Amino acid sequence: MNHTESLQYAQQAALQVLNTLESASTSLVSYQSTGKLLIIGTAQTALPLAKQLSVHLQCAVVLPPNDTGHVQNSSIPLCQGEVTAIEGHLGQYQVTLQRADGAWNPAILFDGHHETVDLILDLNQPPLLSHEVLPFGYYAPNGDDVQLDRILSELPEMTGSFDKPRYFNYNPEICAHGSSGQTGCTRCLTACPTLAIRSIGEKIEVNPYLCQGEGTCTMTCPTGALSYAYPPPADTLTQIRRMLNTFFDAGGQAPRLVFFDNELADMMQGLTAQLPANLLPFQVAELGALGMDVWLSALAYGAEQVFLVTAANTPPATLAEFEAQLSYVQPMLTALGYPAAMVTQVPWQNNLSDIAPVLQQQHELPVIARAGYAGLTEKRTILRLALEHLYAQAPQRPEFIALPEGAPFGEVLVDTETCTLCMACVSVCPTSALMDGGDEPKLKFNESRCVQCSLCKVSCPEHSIQLTARYIFDSDQRQSVRLLNEDQPFHCVECGKAFATQMMIKRMQSKLKDHWMFQGDAAKRLALCEDCRVRDMFKG
């Protein structure tokens, strides 16, 4: 068996073992549609389509307020007005119409009392909803006749029950979105192309009916509070590790992983036939669900290179998050002496021949001993294990690397001249990266836990905190607890009780020196503990 045949054999063995691995199941999200379709458009465009579709669906039409093409004797129920709101999902759309006589619900066109419609065909240009990924059951061809033909063939089938996986898990205990009325991390809100995520005060809420599994929220979540449920991260990592181990055990060398999602599955079928046998295609449900924890783990498991093939219709929010994640990963690799090309995004154009030259490029890539850690769901742990493995074999071993703002690693800097050790930052830190000194007025910090959520910064009443994104490679240094600030306790001048810090009392005296309540002998009250202050205020 020559070298090429040996690689082909190893490739086939790796792909076969990949096909035998199954992911854990997840719960389902169910939709119910009775076929009530609301068409929004002009009389010229909407009425003919309503008549065509009414053979299969219950149709009603909303026309613009001044549409002169209004057909008085239309057999299709219709009304006129301006649509001001569309909310909901397949089977449960709520539409608000503004007419001359006030707000009105066009859902009652169907039988006089319904509050929702099942399906919406929006013929406006641009559509009324601007989501990067539109909700299930909402169709908007936006003037594209080819897309309209596809929609018209699909709509008659949109009645009955429909199930989809619940794509996400959410752990509010480690969510860094907010605390004590302050807002910190908003990465998932920005990254979601379906607008399925909203803030509910200190936590977030994901609407499972709007979520379509793009996965970008799980890629960007710094703590792992949001994780992909189908398949879970641990299953994906296990599949990657077993596939690579099988490839090596079968005699393969220099494997390169090519990640792509279901959108490109049909077009990527010719991958193994047209490209070198050390390229291992790895299909995932959504490429957006794979973040730097998976990319770096693939390298740690023995892949010499990771390609991320993004489809042409990948939502802009997802592409932006890929760019952000790569801006963290590639500088880390180069700082360690590895080529940045070890993780490369490859935009899909029209066919395989467009991306083949990129996939076939040869780089002098280092051989990394295979890591043995198992697939886990805990995101920060996986990142730590992958980076520690790569660092141990790195050609260069810098102490740390500065990262772009927004990276989920870094340090907290405290201005000791203004910090009063009030511990507001400690009370809001979602990961316990900031800690108090127990009975001593001290502020301590563990950088390995910090996700740069900014809650400490926005909660500091003295504006004493700044954040710096960076990554410390040495594990012991990164996980060591260091002192950020300390002070001597201030003792009540009356009873001697320690009740504040020296700096806090100095700040209070400075800020309140001109306040009418603390003039003359009353100024002494600022140096009293809470009990002595009350006694002083009410003494005879």
Q: What percent of the chain has pLDDT over 70?
A: 97
Report CA-CA distances (Å) from 37 to 61, 65, 94, 239. Answer: 9, 20, 12, 43
Report pLDDT for 272. Answer: 63
At 171, give phi and psi (nearest 5°): -110, 100
Look at residue 273 and tell me whether its pLDDT is greater than 80: no
Distance between CA atoms of 99 and 97, rounded to whole angstroms?
6
Residue with more model confidence, 420 or 270: 420
- Average pLDDT over all residues of the chain: 91
DSSP, collapsed to helix, strand or coil, labels residue 520 as helix
Residue with more model confidence, 515 or 252: 252
Look at residue 483 and tell me whether its pLDDT is greater than 80: yes
Distance between CA atoms of 320 and 470, rounded to whole angstroms?
20
Report CA-CA distances (Å) from 74 to 60, 107, 119, 226, 511. Answer: 11, 18, 21, 50, 74
Spatial CA neighbour of 120 closest among 36, 64, 57? 36
Report pLDDT for 491. Answer: 83
Report pLDDT for 270. Answer: 66
Distance between CA atoms of 459 and 428, rounded to whole angstroms?
8
Spatial CA neighbour of 423 closest among 520, 338, 504? 504
Residues 6+ apart with CB under 8 A from 344: 305, 306, 307, 308, 358
Look at residue 298 and tell me whether its pLDDT is greater than 80: yes
- For 373, how many CA atoms within 13 A lie in the half-sphere containing its CB? 23
Report pLDDT for 516. Answer: 76
What confidence tens digit (pLDDT) does each residue in 393-428 have? Answer: 999 999 999 999 999 999 999 999 889 898 999 999
Looking up tokens 């996965």 gives 215
Residues 6+ apart with CB under 8 A from 145: none
Looking up tokens 């020196």 gives 513
Domain pair 166-228 / 402-486, same fold: yes
Q: What does the domain layout of the chain look like in residue ranges?
A: 30-163, 166-228, 233-392, 402-486, 489-538
30-163 belongs to which CATH class?
Answer: alpha beta
Give the global pTM.
Answer: 0.87
For the segment 189-218, the average pLDDT, to the nearest whole number, is: 96
- Whether residue 231 is preceded by a cis peptide bond, meaning omega within 30 degrees of 0, is yes
Report pLDDT for 70. Answer: 60
What confidence tens digit (pLDDT) does each residue in 117-174 have? Answer: 999 999 999 999 999 999 999 999 999 999 999 999 999 999 999 999 999 999 999 9
Residues 6+ apart with CB under 8 A from 200: none
For the segment 304-320, the average pLDDT, to the nearest whole number, is: 94
Report pLDDT for 362. Answer: 72
Report pLDDT for 439. Answer: 79
DSSP string, 118-184: SEEEE--SS-S---SSPPTTEE--TT-HHHHHHHHHHGGG--EEEEEE--EEE-GGG--SEETTEE-
Confidence of residue 367 (pLDDT cuts 50, 70, 90): confident
Instruction: Tell me whether residue 280 is exposed, middle or buried, using C-beta atoms within 10 angstroms of its C-beta: 0 to 12, 13 to 18, 19 or more.
Output: buried
Looking up tokens 């068996």 gives 1
Report pLDDT for 509. Answer: 82
Handedness of CA 134, 137, 141, 145 (dihedral sign): positive
DSSP letter at 374 equals P
Distance between CA atoms of 53 and 58, rounded to whole angstroms?
8
Report pLDDT for 271. Answer: 65
Q: What percent of the chain has pLDDT over 90?
A: 69
Residue with more model confidence, 519 or 430: 430
> Which tokens sit at 352?
């395989």
Look at residue 382 and tell me whether its pLDDT is greater than 60: yes
For the segment 494-516, the average pLDDT, to the nearest whole number, is: 81
Look at residue 371 and tell me whether its pLDDT is greater than 60: yes
Sheet containing strand 410-414, strands side by side: 400-402, 465-472, 410-414
What confidence tens digit (pLDDT) does each residue in 327-337 have? Answer: 999 999 999 99
Report pLDDT for 73. Answer: 63
Report pLDDT for 540. Answer: 52
DSSP, collapsed to helix, strand or coil, labels residue 356 as helix
What confidence tens digit (pLDDT) does each residue in 164-174 have? Answer: 999 999 999 99
What confidence tens digit (pLDDT) does each residue in 18-75 have? Answer: 877 677 677 899 999 999 999 999 999 999 999 999 999 999 999 999 886 666 667 8
Residue with more model confidence, 134 or 114: 134
Report pLDDT for 349. Answer: 74
Distance between CA atoms of 95 and 398, rounded to whole angstroms?
58
CATH number of 402-486: 3.30.70.3270
Q: Inter-axis angle of helices 3-19 and 233-249, to 10 degrees?
A: 150
Look at residue 293 and tell me whether its pLDDT is greater than 90: yes
What confidence tens digit (pLDDT) does each residue in 223-265 have? Answer: 999 999 988 899 999 999 999 999 999 999 999 999 999 888 8
Spatial CA neighbour of 89 closest among 152, 131, 138, 123? 138
Look at residue 290 and tell me whether its pLDDT is greater than 80: yes
For the segment 280-300, the average pLDDT, to the nearest whole number, is: 94
Distance between CA atoms of 433 and 184, rounded to whole angstroms?
15
For the segment 276-289, the average pLDDT, to the nearest whole number, is: 90
Domain 166-228 falls under CATH 3.30.230.80 = no
Spatial CA neighbour of 328 closest among 183, 219, 447? 219
Q: Yes or no: say if 86 and 189 are a contact pair by the CB < 8 Å rule.
A: no
Distance between CA atoms of 210 and 198, rounded to whole angstroms?
11
Distance between CA atoms of 353 and 370, rounded to whole angstroms?
32
Confidence of residue 82 (pLDDT cuts 50, 70, 90): very high
